[in-house]
Amino acid sequence: MYQGTLIFATGNANKVKEVQVLVGDDVQIKSLHDLNHFDELSETHDTLEANALEKAQFIFEKYGQNCFSEDTGLEVEALNGEPGVYSARYAGPDKGADDNMELLLKNLEGITNRKARFRTVISLIIDAKEYRFEGVAEGHVLEGRRGAHGFGYDPVFQPIGYERTYAEMSLEEKAPISHRGKAVKQLVTFLKNF
Ligand code: IMP
């Protein structure tokens, strides 16, 4: 079992809580705020893998602490994997989730292949060595929005095997089947066997 502290390279307290619950008491998950780091981390690459590593490496080098980071994208088959690594800023740097969904639906107008997947990559650095984990959720992009929970593209994404969109699911229902949940589960298993 990995023992001690692990920095989650995020400022999102909810994400930190989610992982802490899964990891148990042997590992203390801390956020960037616990390091008094409040700046956004750069994501300058064009793959989820490279961006996740960039963020983890930056924190490891700056603070000398074991850490992990994640990067997520929605990869739409008919759009050659777009918006992918650019999911958060698909409609432009100052646009929000509504604009992103609107652009996605517009770009898919008249296209019958709605296959898409969410992919999360986690990059973990322990004592300068990188370990990588991935979680994938396959599904479809609907033709309109359904549901009010969640964030991002949740209202237009329906995972395979489910009648409802992510935005129609409670957090308890979405978390274990989601891309992020699957990637975190792998991280937790790794830490337990470390
Ligand atoms: P991040 O790497 O977790 O910040 O995710 C990047 C972007 O992908 C977010 O800004 C959202 O647009 C989208 N995204 C990530 N995870 C989800 C999810 O669970 N549901 C819907 N959209 C998501």
pLDDT in tens, 78-108: 999 999 999 999 999 999 999 999 999 999 9
- What is the 163 CA–ligand 1 centroid distance (Å)? 21
Domain boundaries, the chain: 4-192
Arithmetic mean of pLDDT, 159-168 = 97
Residue 25, pLDDT > 90, answer no
Q: Please give the pLDDT value at position 42.
A: 92
- What is the 193 CA–ligand 1 centroid distance (Å)? 29
pLDDT, tens only, 126-149 = 999 999 999 999 999 999 999 999
Between residues 171 and 188, the one the model is more confident about: 188
Is 94 considered catalytic here? no
Q: Considering only CA atoms, which of 45, 36, 6 is closest in space to residue 184?
A: 6
4-192: CATH topology:
Maf protein (3.90.950)
> Atom 3 of ligand 1 has which residue's CA nearest to it?
72
> Does the beta carbon of 90 sit less than 6 angstroms from any atom of ligand 1?
no
Q: Please give the pLDDT value at position 19.
A: 87
Residue 21, pLDDT > 90, answer no
- What is the 190 CA–ligand 1 centroid distance (Å)? 24
What does residue 168 show for φ and ψ, rounded to 5 degrees? -95, 0
Evaluate whether 47 touches 29 at the Cβ level (below 8 Å).
no
Spatial separation of the C-alpha atoms in residues 188 and 184, rounded to whole Å: 6
Read off the tokens for 183: 């990637």
